[in-house]
A = this chain, B = another copy of it.
Amino acid sequence: MNMNMTKQQIINQLIPHLQPAKLQAKGEADVNIALSKYWGKRQTELNLPTNSSLSIGLPGLGTKTQLTLIEAEHNQAWLNNQLLAPDNPFSQRLDNYLAPFQPSGLKFKLQTQNTVPTAAGLASSASGYAALALALNDLFDWQLDPASLSILARMGSGSASRSIYQGFALWHKGEREDGMDSVAQGLSHTWPGFSIGLVKIDVNQKPIGSTAGMQQTVKHCELYQAWPAQAERQVKLIQQAIEQRDFTRLGETAEHNALSMHATMMATWPPILYWQAESVSAMQKIWQLRQQGIEVYFTMDAGPNLKLLFLAENKKAIETAFENITIIQPFG
C-alpha cells in the first residue's frame, strides 16, 4: 500500500485517535450539483482545486453507507448489494482511501446504497465519499466539525467536500499546500421554489473520467488559463444571487460557467467532448423556452446530461417540454 506522507500527516492533524468506538457505523449524504464548477486540480493527492466552486445538494438523492469492522483478509466493498472484486478500480480506490484508518487486525466491510435513480444520470462519488467520511466519524466517534469532515471527504473525491452539507455549499479553493483551508462551508440561505430538473441523455461510454479529463485540460488547453479567475468571479456572483434571490443572475452565471468548463475540455488536445447529439438538442430547446419567456437555464457536468434550473412557477412548462424529467425542489 503506497501511502503519501502528506496525506497521512493531514489525517493525523484532523483526527484525534484511531480507536474504534464501535464495530458498526453509518453515514448518509446527498449528491450535489455545482452551479459554479470544480474543474482542475492544483494538487492531485489531496484533491486541491485550482478554483472555488458552489453547489446545491439534492435531498434524498445520494448515498447511505454502513461501515463494519470485520475479521477478514481484505476489505469488502458492497455496492448496491453486490460484492466488488478486490481488483475492481472502485475497490482499490476505497482501499487506498481507507488505508490510514485501518485498525490493526481488522478490515472494513463497506455496504453502500446509492439512492440516486440510475435514470437521473448523476455521479455518486461526491455523496459516496461524504457518506464514508461521516461513517468513519461515527465509527471512531471523532465528533469532527463540518469543516474537518469536508476536508476528510475531499481527500476521497473533490466534490465530496460539498456533500457534507445540505442546501447550498461553497468550497473555498484555499491557498495552503496542506489544503487545510480548502474546505466547503454550508450556506444558510434557503430558496423555496428553487427547482432542478434532471434530463438524462443516454451514452454508451464516457470518453474519459472526470479526473483524467480535468488533468488533461489543465495541461493541454491554452484557453484554460482564464478559467480559474472566471470561476472565482462566478462563485461570488452566484453567492450574491443566492443572498438576493436573483434567479436571473444565478441561472445566467451557472449556464455560462458550465459552458465555459465544457469549452476548456473541447479546446484541449486530444479534445474532450462529453456531449451527445441529444445534449445539443436539449440546449436548443432550453434557449427556445427562454426566448418564449420561460426562464430556464442549464448546467452540465462531465457527462452528456443536462441539469435544468428554474423556479416553481415554470414547473408545468418544463414538464411539458421535457419528457421523463426528474424534478427536485431542494427547499420544498
Contacts and interface: CB of A to CB of B under 8 A. Distances in A.
Interface in A297-317: none
Interface stretch (A99-107, A183-191, A260-268): A260-268
Nearest to A269: B256
How many chain A residues sit at the interface, stated as a range, is 20 to 34
A227 interface: yes
Contact of A267 (B252, B259, B273, B283): B259
Contacts of A227: 223
Most buried by B among A224, A252, A263, A281: A263
A277 B281 contact: yes
Nearest to A227: B223
A259 B264 contact: no
Most buried by B among A224, A259, A267, A275: A267
Interface in A308-330: none
A279 interface: yes
Given A226-B225, A277-B280, A262 B266 contact: yes
A145 to B, nearest CB: 36
Contact of A280 (B226, B259, B276): B276
Contact of A222 (B226, B271, B273): B226
A85 interface: no
A260 B271 CA distance: 9
A165 to B, nearest CB: 28
Contact of A271 (B229, B256, B273): B256
Contact of A255 (B255, B256, B271, B277): B271
A269 B252 contact: yes
Contact of A226 (B226, B271, B273, B279): B226
Contacts of A280: 273, 275-277, 279-280
A141 interface: no
A181 interface: no
Contacts of A279: 280
A146 to B, nearest CB: 32
Contacts of A223: 223-224, 226-227, 230, 260, 263-264, 267
A225 B276 CA distance: 28
B263 A266 contact: yes
Nearest to A260: B267
B263 A267 contact: yes
A256 B280 CA distance: 20
Contacts of A273: 280, 283-284
19 contacts: A222-B229, A223-B223, A223-B227, A223-B230, A223-B260, A223-B263, A223-B267, A224-B226, A225-B225, A226-B226, A252-B269, A256-B267, A256-B269, A259-B267, A260-B266, A262-B266, A263-B267, A277-B277, A280-B280
Given A222-B226, A264-B267, 17 more contacts: A222-B229, A222-B260, A223-B226, A223-B264, A223-B267, A224-B226, A252-B269, A256-B269, A256-B271, A259-B267, A259-B271, A260-B266, A262-B266, A263-B266, A263-B267, A276-B280, A277-B280
